[in-house]
Amino acid sequence: MSVLPLQLLAPAGGPEQLHMALHFGANEVFLAGRQWGMRARSKNFDNTQLEEAVQLAHSKGATVHLTLNTIMRDGDTDDLPHYLDFINQIGVDAAIVADLGGMALVQKYAPKVELHVSTQASVMNALAAEQYMRLGAKRLVLAREMTLKEISELHRRVSSELELEVFAHGSMCMAVSGRCFLSSELVGRERGANVGACTQPCRWGWTLVEESKPDTRRMDLEQDDKWSYILSSNDLCMLDHLDDIAAAGVTAIKIEGRAKGAYYTACVTNAYRHVLNGEPAEVWMSELEAVSHRPYSTGFFYGNPTQNPGHIDYVRDRLMVATVISCADKPNEQGMYEVQVHCRNKAQASDQLQVLSANYPIRECVLGTAEQWNGYDSYIPTQVMSRAMGTYKIKLPFVVDPLDILCLKQRGM
């Protein structure tokens, strides 16, 4: 595969995920403040953190897209102008909005911020696209229910100045463009999907009780001795179809996952960056199989998506055990590089590690004896790294960069 002209938009649910997204090759990051975003449970960014995030992203040559994509009530739009003035001043590059009232306010109070139409708006035809462009939209995040053929046709019909963005990886929702009322019905309106507080009942394990008539059309169901996941859709993965996405006229691909952790952001961003840079997809697909995910599918891009077989939820066999702080410039006499790391999960001497790097292929090594910082003035030899966020020194047979990740295949798998 040749280098593809697609922008890579990665999720940043908090400051740590932001650093990982930028380190592993995102051109653009999307994140939220403390209000108006569709992922209220993420750490998100207060005003100070948001300003720092914009400065950091810009220093790395990346842009910041702020999600303001909840369905808004009058109280929301009343409070929004002051915040829009703030993001206009600090240099946020784009606002992702679903609500027409919110769009009007962005145009008025944040004129330097590009307007991007959220997937929540369900844009699926050229006439709707043109209307949003007249309202000032620079980019459309298309409905996830579109096929590649439909995207290509929409691209043919609209102005070349209008950018198109699609989700290429991550969790899919059982409802059209995420407009779901299941959480609101079961838990209450304040925990609704459209205000960013979804409790995700579709991901719960359900026990099935069926009383349909023999002649009633129904879906075949599976259940093991515990429960079923009939409402939980498969995850999207288009890593080995990026050339088709580019050919359809798409400007940017988006990785879902602002509610996910730093390792997910790093691993998935890294895989898509390497493939966009021309490396074979099959080399990096194994990394996506290792990160936490449900069974993969190609969503609606080639027709109707595949259905979760009914009893499979998450799959994961990789654990982040440390992030790199620094690495020596030169090896010691044994050819080993001294590396300082932050411990994230337990690992012990003789464990087989994989190293996730932005600038290198996946490499493997064996963890030797570590040294733990005692908190005062020295390091103490140890056979186990176990103190979360503790600082350790280890030795590796190759160079690593700050923010590279050491991973461990989960024991027993």
The tens place of each residue's pLDDT in the chain, 413 residues long, gives: 678 999 999 999 999 999 999 999 999 999 999 877 555 555 789 999 999 999 999 999 999 999 998 888 898 889 899 999 999 999 999 999 999 999 999 999 999 999 999 999 999 999 999 999 999 999 999 999 999 999 999 999 999 999 999 999 998 876 655 556 565 656 666 655 555 566 666 666 666 565 655 555 454 555 555 556 667 778 999 999 999 999 999 999 999 999 899 999 999 999 999 999 999 999 999 899 888 888 899 999 998 776 665 555 566 678 899 999 999 999 999 999 999 999 999 999 999 999 999 999 999 999 998 999 988 889 999 999 999 899 999 999 999 999 999 999 765 44
What pLDDT does 410 receive?
Answer: 67
286 C-beta neighbours (distance < 10 Å), count = 10
Q: What is the 3-state secondary structure (H, E, C) of 336-366?
A: CEEEEEEECCCEECCCEEEEECCCCCCEEEE
pTM above 0.75, yes or no: yes
> In sequence order, which residues have a C-beta less than 8 Å from that of residue 405 and are 6 or more positions away?
263, 266, 267, 320, 322, 323, 324, 355, 356
What pLDDT is attached to residue 412?
A: 47
Pairing, β 235-237 against β 296-297: parallel
> In the chain, where are the structural domains located?
7-176+231-297, 318-409
Angle, CA of 317, 294 and 20, to the nearest 5°: 65
Q: What is the pLDDT of residue 278?
A: 95
C-alpha span between 105 and 144 (Å, rounded):
26
Look at the domain 318-409 and name its fold: Elongation Factor Tu (Ef-tu); domain 3 (2.40.30)
Same fold flag, 7-176+231-297 and 318-409: no
pLDDT at site 294: 82
CA 221 vs. chain centroid, Å, equals 30
DSSP character for 266?
H
Angle, CA 349 vertex, CA 347 and CA 355 arms, to 5°: 60
Helices (H), 232-359: 242-247, 262-276, 281-290
Cβ–Cβ < 8 Å for 311, 228: yes
Name, in order, each residue with C-beta under 8 angstroms of 225's C-beta and a sequence gap of 6 or more. none
Q: For the chain, what percentages of helix, strand and coil (3-state, to nearest 5) are there?
A: 30, 25, 45
Q: Tell the CATH topology of 7-176+231-297.
A: TIM Barrel (3.20.20)
Residue with tokens 């005062």: 376
Q: Classify residue 412 by burial, with Cβ atoms within 10 Å: 0-12, 13-18, 19+.
A: exposed
